[in-house]
Amino acid sequence: MRTGTGSARRGARRRAQAIDPITFELASAALRATAVEMGEVLKHSSYSPIIREMDDFSCAIFRADGDLVAQADFIPAQLGAMSLVVKEIIERWGAGIAPGDAYLANHPYHGAMHTPDLNVIMPVFLGGRLFGWVGTAAHHIDVGGVRPGTEGPDLGEIYAEGLLLPPVRLYRGGAENPDVFAIVGAAVRDPVSTLSDLRAQRAACLVGERRVTELAGRHGARVLASVFDQMLDAVERAVRLDLAGLPDGAAEAEGFLDDDGAGGPPTRVHVRLAKHGDRLVADLSGSAPQVRGAMNVPWASTRASVVYAVRAMTDPARSTNDGVLRAVEITCPRGTVLNPDPPAAVSVRHNTCQRLADTLIRAASEIWPDRAIASSTVAFFGMNLASRSPRTGAMSVMAEVVGGGTGAHAAGDGLDGVDTYMANVGLMPVEVAESSYSVRILRTELIAGSQGDGTFRGGLGIRREYQVLGEDSAVTFYSEQTDPRFAPRGARGGGDGSPSKITVLGPDGRELPVGSKASLVLAPGSVIRIETSGGGGYGDPAGRDPALAEADREDERG
């Protein structure tokens, strides 16, 4: 697949009606604030810790044709991805779209990312005409399938990954569609949480619809439509100016996943970047063919990874919308791990996205060495543990993500214990985990010595231990960078970070033989220990400031 903007496409694109700068700044800021407000409504009204505590969701506003114009910065994995769902709704429903409708979709081959990410999208009508869209995407703890938590690195096809929903009407004319609610409720392991979270997503959309309507009443619908257009044009122009100010050049980089998710060999991710003038070409065609396991990446997530890298290497503080994609051409053939043909499984695609993001950043660092940065962890330990609420006894699923260290750079050390690159998910608080699930968190700590050395040192990885309580529990977990060959790389003479490691102990304390990815049933008293990788170092370690080195020793950073 090849995407981008040629001269014909640029000429055909709508031009924004000229509006005064003050009106544009006020209205565009209000739209961005609306996306943030939608996120706060979702966060504070959801049931599931993965949404309300870990922020695994996103909210956005779209033009009538589906182009994304404003998105809140909750999780980069969904930057530039949600508009494909809106366009799929438009194509599928067309003239049938009506005020008060809300659409539900999660099908990875119809614009979505992976099945646990449920999109709830609402049209905004003004004067009886479709004016725009508001929408949310949120990771749900379970959408059915053969594994609690839905995900499984070894799953061989999309049909094993839970409920598949092309865009369907969750609400019709403002009322719940009982058929869809019944289907979803019957397919998932925790229907109370799932259905409640869907209602929370729709509540966030209602807030977005109200704010857009208010803005149209204040400025006029034609002016607000021009603000939409100009927001896209402004981001495109800013990205092009940034690119034009950077040296032309080309570079390539490769990275590897530990395996294919199903016990196969390492999986190659290859990037070739070429920058000329104000345009960037990202050629991903050297990446591996699609794999047997669930590490394949649907097109929405591959596109989002490129948007993330462009933003990271130009201006991370810039607002992001689909204008970014006008300055970028992506080449990625069908049938590859980054653009698979159905019915390839994709539920653990985020680990591959993390590796892709790292590889994009390393290629960009070759073209623009003054912006080089050491590699961050892409271990991205994920775990879904079937459990019961200690308060109610109801069956549920604990979904957990553990970050690690970011890479060092010319301006300083990396960050300790954060979710890196495409992710921005928080570590679940101990109190929430132990009050919501039958688990005990035995230990959460930074790992001394896990970082790469350098003039500036990488951030530290995290060690965390989970003890299963109550009854036998099915668990699926996965991580990357357990193979030392693929640990986070240093930059400009800096050292590599440590690899990650997963250890499982039975109730008797004996270590069980497991790999970096597994699905098994654990008896009460069993312990899962994760140790994530630290970030790579930057520069010659001999050049480290003695005061910083002394602070390292005092803090026992290793």
pLDDT digits (tens, 9 = 90+) for 515-541: 999 999 999 999 999 999 999 999 999
- What was the pLDDT predicted at 16? 53
- Tell me whether residue 293 is exposed, middle or buried, using C-beta atoms within 10 angstroms of its C-beta: 0 to 12, 13 to 18, 19 or more: buried
Query: Is 276 a domain residue?
Result: no
Average pLDDT value for residue range 145-171: 97
Tokens in use for 211?
């704010």
Q: pLDDT at position 9, please?
A: 41
The band of 11, judged by pLDDT with boundaries at 50, 70 and 90, is very low
- Give a yes or no: residue 352 inside a domain: no
**Which range of residues forms the domain containing residue 230?**
2-237
Write down the pLDDT at residue 75. 83
Q: Tell me the average pLDDT of the chain.
A: 95
Mean pLDDT of 409-423: 96
Q: How far apart are CA 282 and CA 289, in angstroms?
A: 17
Q: Which of 237, 253, 271 is the last residue of a domain?
A: 237
N-terminal to C-terminal alpha carbon distance within the chain = 46
Average pLDDT over residues 445-470: 98
pLDDT band at 5 (very low <50, low <70, confident <90, very high): very low
pTM of this prediction exceeds 0.85: yes
Q: Are residues 376 and 233 in the same domain?
A: no
> Which letter does DSSP use for residue 339 in this model?
B
Residue 537 lies in a domain: yes
Q: Is the pLDDT of residue 17 over 90?
A: no
Q: What is the pLDDT at residue 424?
A: 86
Q: What is the mean pLDDT of residues 363-377?
A: 96
* Confidence band of 81 (pLDDT split at 50, 70, 90): confident
Average pLDDT over residues 187-194: 96
- Domain assignment of residue 335, yes or no: no
> What's the chain's Rg over C-alpha atoms?
23
Residue 264 lies in a domain: no
- Classified as helix, coil or strand, 115 is coil
Which positions ≥6 away from 179 have C-beta within 8 Å? Answer: none
Q: How many domains does the chain have?
A: 2
Contacts of 95 (CB under 8 A, 6+ apart): none
DSSP 515: -
- How far is 466 from 478, CA to CA, in rounded Å? 15
Indicate whether 177 pLDDT > 90: yes
Output the pLDDT for position 2: 60
Using the 3D structure, point to which of 211, 237, 263 is the last residue of a domain: 237
Q: Are 35 and 59 in contact (CB under 8 A)?
A: yes
Where is the domain boundary, 199, 216, 237?
Answer: 237
Q: Are 384 and 333 in contact (CB under 8 A)?
A: no
Mean pLDDT, residues 511-515: 95
Is residue 23 within 8 A of residue 38, CB to CB? The reply is: no
Residue 529: half-sphere exposure toward Cβ, Cα within 13 Å: 15
Task: Indicate whether 43 pLDDT > 80.
Answer: yes
- Higher-confidence residue of 80 and 178: namely 178
Whether 15 is in a domain gets the answer yes
State pLDDT tens for residues 272-315.
999 999 999 999 999 999 999 999 999 999 999 999 999 999 99
**Is 183 in contact with 164 (CB distance < 8 Å)?**
no
Beta bridge partners of residue 395, listed in sequence order: 388
Residue 275 included in any domain: no
- Report, as an integer, the average pLDDT of 430-436: 96
Per residue, the 3-state secondary structure of 353-418, as one string, reads HHHHHHHHHHHHHHHCHHHCECCCCCCCEEEEEEEECCCCCCEEEEEEEECECCCCECCECCCCCE
263 assigned to some structural domain: no
Gap between the Cα atoms of 219 and 227, Å rounded: 10
Kindly indicate the confidence band of residue 463, based on its pLDDT and cuts at 50, 70 and 90: very high
